[in-house]
Amino acid sequence: MDRLERLYGWVDDRLDVAGAQSFFGKAFPAEDSFLLGEVALFCFLLLVFSGVFLGFFFEPSISEVEYEGSVAEYQGEELPESFVSVLNITYDVPFGMLIRRMHHWAAHLMIASMALHMLRVFFTGAYRNPREPNWLVGTGLAGATMFAAYTGYALPFDEFASTAVGIGYNVTLSIPLVGETLAQLAFGGSFPSSATIPRFYFLHVLVLPAAIAGLIGLHMLILVRQKHTEAQRDADVPAPDRDDTTAADGGSVARDDDSVVVGLPAVPNQVAVSAVVFFLTLATLSLLAGFLPVHNIAEYGPNDPASTPSLIMPDWFLMWGYGFLKLTPSWLSFDVFGVHISAEFIGGLALPSLVFGLVAVWPFIDYEETAVHFTADPLERPFQTGVGVAGVVFIMLASIAGMDVIVADIVGLTTAQLKPYLIGALLVGPLVAGLIVYAGLGGFEDDPPDDDPPDDTTPNEETPADTEGDE
């Protein structure tokens, strides 16, 4: 026992274990929607682990080698080395197909859970003072994750992927003044070049994962430093172990006391919940990988500059940007002081950047002078909820525009005939949806409801409390 005590004392002297007890007792509100961020975190960890496995077998090169794998139609052919390595991972490496599928679906689930997490934060107003910094970090994290997924497109160097990445090269090249330099830096010259795959591989496995890990760390550091937001309480919450004169009485936390977070302590309760979320995430990805196929590079074949696949569409999380690119009319190109602004730049980069910019600055548009620690009811925020619904409809319609070839085939029109209708829907649809929600929530009434809770306490404390009485 003395040895254990001495060992604990040695560790405590150097790492201040006793000082970490305040973190171990940090309260986490027991609300399921708050776990979406953890799903994204665990997806990132699984992406790293599966990516390490795939990295052992992937060759970032387009040098031609003779294929001697299991796919009969390519036997004895000279193929790009990166394409051959992905074929080998898929069909010859033990568990290669499963791990490749898990890597694919983990990327999709990570982006989906991040999107839902940001929507939850938006509609409940959890981005307000003092949490604007974390909203900015989260927006940057979403952008970095989508870019990381995009850089993975080129790596197999099959016909579909190289065509999609070629579109990105043309958009990069269209950036005024610096486009050619950026294209040379990122793509290694005119795409496809021998330097493209190594550079995208470097971005995909090192630069962007490091940026994402750094942003996740910063996001969590801010989260730990600040208190969690919490849903408005229906009544005072019993806390028999708490001696606090600011509560309604010595044994409860007042309904409007925002200086205290009512929830589960980090250790051991929240750790146990997080473990369950991790294994559920792993199980979900395992089921998806086991039953749903991913991009079939053997069907598309290796890159062929002389041909173009009949149907090219990005993944769903980039489809809205592709829709902007398709809907931007060619006549929108113009010159400013001798600098050419092309329609490709406007649709492919300027409009998506504008969307991300508006998302990032929203907490400063819907600004609160005082700190707000309770989340808001979306039904009591007609303007903010209307804007949110309009934004969701806008992204959905832009995504439909990205699938114009499929839509045109369904409605029996050409893409040229369909384009004016899609532009009209993109301009009018979000406005109509937003106004309907705004009116339905009483936004046109003289006295809209006030969503802010009473601010009669100073938020300076965070203490876990028993939530049983609140349930």
Extents of the domains making up the chain: 29-233+264-312, 319-448
CA R_g for the chain: 26
Q: Cα 212 to the chain's mean position, in Å?
A: 10
Helices (H), 152-233: 159-173, 179-187, 196-202, 208-225
- pLDDT higher than 70, residue 118: yes
Q: Which pLDDT belongs to residue 261?
A: 79
Whether the CB-CB separation of 327 and 188 falls below 8 Å is answered with: no
- pLDDT higher than 90, residue 376: yes
Q: Which pLDDT belongs to residue 216?
A: 97
**In 3D, which of 245, 262, 250, 273 has the Cα closest to residue 26?**
262
Q: Which pLDDT belongs to residue 24?
A: 67
Cβ atoms within 10 Å, residue 330: 9
Whether omega before 29 lies within 30 degrees of 0, making that bond cis, reads no
- pLDDT higher than 70, residue 469: no
Q: Treating both helix axes as pointing N-terminal to C-terminal, what angle do 351-365 and 132-151 enclose, rounded to 10 degrees?
A: 160
- pLDDT higher than 70, residue 461: no
Compare 19 and 211 and report the one with higher pLDDT: 211
In the chain, what's the furthest Cα-to-Cα distance? Answer: 83
Q: Which pLDDT belongs to residue 30?
A: 76
- CA distance to 160, 179, 184, 198, 325, per residue, from 173 (Å): 20, 4, 9, 19, 14
Whether the CB-CB separation of 316 and 399 falls below 8 Å is answered with: yes
- Say whether domain 29-233+264-312 belongs to CATH 1.20.810.10: yes
pTM: 0.88
Of all helices (H) and strands (E), which one includes residue 64?
strand 64-66
